[in-house]
């Protein structure tokens, strides 16, 4: 069965003025849809993998029994599919603060503000296309880093918690080259902290 995009959990304009409706519409219905379609195209050659959860495929991408070219494409398009699913799900027009996460952030980074500073710096200075991540690493600790392209922390055996898309398509229409301004505004759209 081909995979389909989960519905966006809010309207395109729900995150205005931080993320504008036009960017949201193009990002979800063009960029994200394309990742989904291209992932499905690759998986038609591998019916035994196509029935699996894409997260599980990305977790063991390095050892999947696939042609190397297809594997690289699945890493990009399957990664793009799951990364955007997470991205839409952690944002919302209303704060739904996760107090357990906030407490753990306080313990790990001293304060939410200090965490935001580190994450913002990581996202702002990532060179080129990619994502900034807050993950739980293999030791169970919180960690912040960025990854290029559509790479997923799942492939490092880490669990993604918060992520920010810093591909230009995520902000260019509204913010042009002002990635730091986009990031500062984006914190208002993140619902859990
Ligand atoms: Mn994107």
Model confidence over 25-35: pLDDT tens digits?
A: 999 999 999 99
Cα(26) to ligand 1 centroid in Å equals 10
Instruction: Check residue 40 and give its pLDDT.
Output: 98
Section 127-147 average pLDDT:
98
Domain boundaries, the chain: 21-89, 99-186
Section 172-178 average pLDDT:
97
Section 159-179 average pLDDT:
97
pLDDT above 70: residue 154: yes
Same fold, 21-89 and 99-186: no
How far apart are the C-alpha atoms of 40 and 122, rounded to whole Å?
32
Cα(15) to ligand 1 centroid in Å equals 16
Cα(170) to ligand 1 centroid in Å equals 5
**Tell me, which fold does domain 99-186 have in CATH?**
minor pseudopilin epsh fold (3.55.40)
Cα(110) to ligand 1 centroid in Å equals 30
Listed as own residue / partner, the contacts of 163-166 with beta carbons closer than 8 Å and 24 or more positions apart are 163/83, 163/86, 163/87, 163/90, 163/131, 163/132, 163/133, 163/134, 164/87, 164/119, 164/123, 164/131, 164/132, 165/27, 165/83, 165/84, 165/87, 165/131, 166/123, 166/126, 166/129, 166/130, 166/131, 166/132
Instruction: Check residue 142 and give its pLDDT.
Output: 98
pLDDT above 70: residue 1: no
How far apart are the C-alpha atoms of 150 and 152, rounded to whole Å?
6
Cα(32) to ligand 1 centroid in Å equals 7
pLDDT above 80: residue 135: yes
Return mean pLDDT, the chain.
97
Grouping H, G, I as helix, E, B as strand and the rest as coil, residue 91 is strand
Q: In angstroms, what CA-CA distances link 107 with 87, 104, 111, 112, 132? A: 24, 5, 7, 10, 20
Cα(152) to ligand 1 centroid in Å equals 13
CB 4 within 8 A of CB 39: no
Model pLDDT for residues 58-111, shown as the tens digit of each residue = 999 999 999 999 999 999 999 999 999 999 999 999 999 999 999 999 999 999
CB 11 within 8 A of CB 88: no
Cα(27) to ligand 1 centroid in Å equals 6
Section 173-183 average pLDDT:
97
Cα(100) to ligand 1 centroid in Å equals 28
pLDDT above 80: residue 182: yes
Residues at Cβ < 5 Å from ligand 1 ion: 165, 167
Cα(107) to ligand 1 centroid in Å equals 31
Paired strand residues for 163: 133
Cα(150) to ligand 1 centroid in Å equals 9
Cα(82) to ligand 1 centroid in Å equals 11
**Tell me, which fold does domain 21-89 have in CATH?**
Helix Hairpins (1.10.287)
Cα(169) to ligand 1 centroid in Å equals 6
């Amino acid at each position: 069965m081909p995979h389909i995009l989960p519905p966006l959990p809010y309207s395109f304009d729900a995150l205005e003025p931080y993320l504008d409706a036009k960017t949201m519409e193009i990002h979800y219905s063009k960029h994200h849809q394309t990742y989904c379609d291209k992932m499905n195209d690759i998986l038609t050659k591998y019916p035994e993998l196509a029935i699996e959860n894409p997260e599980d495929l990305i977790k063991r991408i390095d050892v999947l029994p696939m042609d190397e070219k297809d594997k690289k494409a699945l890493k990009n398009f399957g990664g793009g599919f799951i990364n955007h699913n997470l991205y839409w799900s952690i944002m919302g027009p209303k704060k739904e603060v996760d107090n357990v996460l906030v407490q753990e952030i306080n313990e790990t980074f001293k304060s939410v503000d200090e965490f935001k500073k580190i994450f913002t710096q990581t996202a702002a200075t990532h060179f080129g296309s990619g994502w900034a991540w807050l993950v739980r690493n293999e030791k169970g600790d919180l960690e912040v880093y960025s990854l290029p392209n559509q790479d997923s922390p799942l492939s490092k055996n880490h669990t993604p918690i918060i992520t920010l898309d810093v591909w230009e398509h995520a902000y260019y229409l509204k913010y042009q080259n002002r990635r730091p301004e986009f990031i500062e505004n984006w914190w208002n759209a993140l619902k859990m902290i």
